Each structure stands twice: as C-alpha cells, then as structure tokens.
Structure 1
Amino acid sequence: MKQIINSSKAPAPIGPYNHSVMVGDLLFISGQIPFNQATETLVTTGIQDETKQVMQNLYYIVEEAGLTFEHVVKATIFIRNMDHFSMINEIYGSYFSAETAPARECVQVEKLPRNVNIEISMILHR
C-alpha cells in the first residue's frame, strides 16, 4: 500500500502528483525545482542558488517523511546546461558524504517546467 507524503514547506505540486510516495521501505520524491515556497517566487539568481533551493525543497520532503539525506539511494538531476555541472555538483555534493553518496545520473535537457535550469528527483530507502 502506498502512503502519500507532502510537506507544507515545499512548493505545492503544479499538476496531478504529490511530493512523494512511500511504498514499503522506499520513498519516491517527485522532481523539485528552485521555487521558494516562503516567498512564492522562483529562484533565478544563478545556478548555485537555484541548486541550493532545489536541495532545500527536497530536504523539506525528506524531513516530512522522517528520513535524512543519508537514506537517499538514487538521485536524478536534470539540467538545461551541462556547463553548469561542476557548480551543481559542488552544491549537491555538500549534502552527502563521499562514502555513502547515492547512485546518480545527470542529464542535460532542452526544457524544464517553468523554464527553470535544474530539477532533481530522489529515491530513498528507510
């Protein structure tokens, strides 16, 4: 049976989906973009700030589920410009220890929701 987990601190879904779904010991988190729920604005001040906001949104959902980033087993990063990879990687990497970092892929895409530059989804194991 699946359990829906949403966080009031993360941006509200803009379509027919939820922030995350727990099935057994796995938590599947929908892709998060750099939208700041507190100010109701998109963060557009550079890829580092955008990445920090995405990771903060993911944190809110992970926290609501009673987990931590140490529970992340897989992350998928979608970016519009692969030239930003090193800056994104620096911010993203600061949330994990090298010894327990999750599996991951990073792909460049042509367009993302609301024309943002980054979106990240995650899978966690409880």
Structure 2
Amino acid sequence: MPERVNYEYLPTIAGPYVHAVKHKDTLYVSGLTAFGTSAQSDPLIAQSEVILAQLAQILKTEKRCKEDLVKLTIFVKDISQLSLIREQLFGFYESFLPACSLVEVSNLIHPDLLIEIEAVVALS
C-alpha cells in the first residue's frame, strides 16, 4: 500500500497533495518550488538552489543519496534560461546523472515562481 509523506521542513502544503508517496521501492516526490521560502521572488538560479537543497534534505531524511535519483522533471517558465542552472544541476548530481525531462510552462502555482522540480527516487 502506498505511504503518503509530508516533510515538516518543507513549506506547508495548501493543496490536495502530499510532499511524496512511497510505493514499493520507489519514492515519488511532488513538484518542489521556492514557494513560501525567502527565495520565492528571487531569480531562477536562487529558486533552483532552494529546490535542490529541499531535494537533498529529502534524500537525507530517506537515507538515500544522489545516486538513487532515478528521474527528475523540471518545469521552467523560460527555457532560454536553462544555461543559468545547467552547471548547478551538474554539480548537484555529483556525476550520478538521472533521467530528466525539461518542460517550458506558461505559469506555475504562483506568479513569482520560475521553476518547479519533481523527482523519482529509488529506495532500494
């Protein structure tokens, strides 16, 4: 049976979802954003930094490492800014490159937000 998980260190959820769901040997992490953080209205690179820190904290909580990242889906409002976060992503992955999709979107949950990242993590 799937286990629904909320992490107390992430911003409070205001919608009909949970931070993550564990099912069998996989963790499905909902889209992470800078919403409710000090970086909410900051540029893309700062928002991305906060999101990657959130993801790193989830990995630590679940006793996993970056090698366990299976797939990321990155949603950005302006795909032309990808070059701003490319090196940041390479650094975050530490050579353990996951499968990844990048999607340009017209909007996110709040007009300040420029990026959202969801993840799939192997738990075994």
* TM-score where L is the length of structure 2: 0.89
Question: Which letter does structure 1 place at the counterpart of 2:21?
Answer: V
Gap runs ≥5 in structure 1: none
Aligned to 2:106: 110
Gaps of 5+ in 2: none
Once superposed, what is the RMSD of the aligned Cα atoms?
A: 1.5
Q: Which residue of 1 aligns with 2:22?
A: 22
Deviation at 1:78, TM superposition (A): 0.1
TM-score, normalised to structure 1, is 0.88
Cα deviation for residue 42 of structure 1 reads 4.5
Q: Give yes or no for contact 1:72–1:102 (8 Å, CA) kept in 2.
A: yes
Do residues 97 (structure 1) and 106 (structure 2) align?
Answer: no
Give, as a single letter, the amino acid of the residue that structure 2 aligns with 1:80: K
User: What is aligned with 2:72?
Assistant: 75
**Aligned partners of 2:34, 2:51: CA distance in 1, in Å?**
5
How many residue pairs were aligned?
122
For each residue in 1:52-86, what CA deviation from the matched residue of structure 2 results, as whole angstroms up to 9, or x when unmatched? 01111222222222222221100000000011101
Q: Return closer, same or farther for 1:112/1:49 CA change in 2, 3 Å cut-off.
A: same
The DSSP-based 3-state class of the residue aligned with 2:92 is: coil
Please give the alpha-carbon distance, in whole angstroms, between the structure 2 residues aligned to 1:18 and 1:33: 14
Q: Specify the SS of the correspondent of 2:87.
A: helix
